[in-house]
Structure 1
Amino acid sequence: MSLALGAATVPTFTVLVRKGYGGGYVIMSGGRTFHPTLVLAWPDAETGVMSPDAALDLVFRRELESAEDPAAAREQLARSFSDRLGAVRGAEGFGFDAVVRPSETRQLLVDTLATLPRRKLMQHVTPRVHPVDPL
């Protein structure tokens, strides 16, 4: 899939509707890796290098193991980092063009697609050097 996205000469759109973490997010055309035409996120979307749960387990493992109540300590740490999650923070660091309501997504994609050059014009602007294999 990543090779096809890298070779594509057609407009691509990315809409993050839930969660996108790490390499999986990148391979699914997350952020700006494959230069998508438009990157949108829904308000509840989360993105990051890894999931918050995995990050807490990795970074604060020793502190959590040595705590009297590991579950309570983990919950407190999770609350302290909760303001760093969400679509607005993702827009700052992960290349979203906009954070939109689910009900507005389709119309925004249609409007953006209508502003792009037609296919015949694209062949002169960015000619296809090699085909994209079927997925």
Structure 2
Amino acid sequence: TIADVPGYLPGKDQEWLGIIRHGAKLLWAYSEATVAKITLVTRKDYGGSYLAMCSKDLGADFVFAWPTAEIAVMGAEGATPIIFRKEIEAASDPEAKEREKIQEYRDLLYNPYIAASRGYVDEVILPRESRPKIIKALELLVSKRETRPPKKHGNIPV
């Protein structure tokens, strides 16, 4: 999986169009798959879409990220006004304070090395290393066997 997903768009229109249902189908497909699961995060990977694009939490065997990757609960512009609301409102220049907090959020949370230090990413790689790293991961996983309890089939969310 090559992940560059800014997240699910919030709103009634998306809900009526079935974004949750379609996202659940994707989650189900990844969780049921017993093949090699390798994810490469190239840029944005936020919130629920991070989970849906075969993260470690969903059973990815390897997760690689480029140095440009941004892995977080939500984007800085959306998260900062929520997390730092009181601090921004109390500032003498709220706009400058918000810009400062957006940059602070990016520095503290967007860095793929932080995601790697917490176990969400196996390795931060340069773009030119992507193909050799994925090939090596596939070679390591060629004999992968996933044992699961016997069952007829899973329940796909409809």
Shorter-chain TM-score: which interval? 0.7 to 0.9
Q: CA RMSD in A?
A: 2.4
- The structure with the largest alpha-carbon Rg is 1
Instruction: Determine which of 88, 91, 96 is the counterpart of 1:64.
Output: 88
Extract unaligned runs of 5+ from structure 2.
Answer: 1-25
* Structure 1 residue runs without a partner (length 5+): none
User: Counterpart in 2 of 1:114?
Assistant: 139
The structural deviation recorded for 1:23 is: 1.1
Count of matched residue positions in the alignment of Structure 1 and Structure 2: 128
The Cα of 1:70 is off from its aligned counterpart by 1.9
Task: Give the equivalent residue in structure 2 for 1:54.
Answer: 78
Give 1:131 deviation, angstroms. 6.7
Distance 2:152 2:132 in 1: 32
1:66-119 deviations in Å (ceiling 9; x for gaps): 433221111222333443131111112252100000110111111121222348
Question: Given residue 61 of structure 2, which amino acid in structure 1 is its aligned partner?
Answer: T
Aligned to 1:20: 45
SS state at 1:33 partner: helix
Q: Secondary structure of the equivalent of 2:64?
A: strand
Answering whether residue 28 of structure 2 is matched by residue 3 of structure 1, we say yes
Q: Confirm or deny: 8 A CA contact 1:46 1:90 kept in the other structure.
A: no
- Contact residue 41 and residue 99 of structure 1 kept, 8 A: yes
| Structure number with higher relative contact order (C-alpha < 8 Å, ≥ 6 residues apart) | 1
Q: 1:106 to 1:131 in 2, by over 3 A?
A: farther
TM-score after normalising by structure 2: 0.70
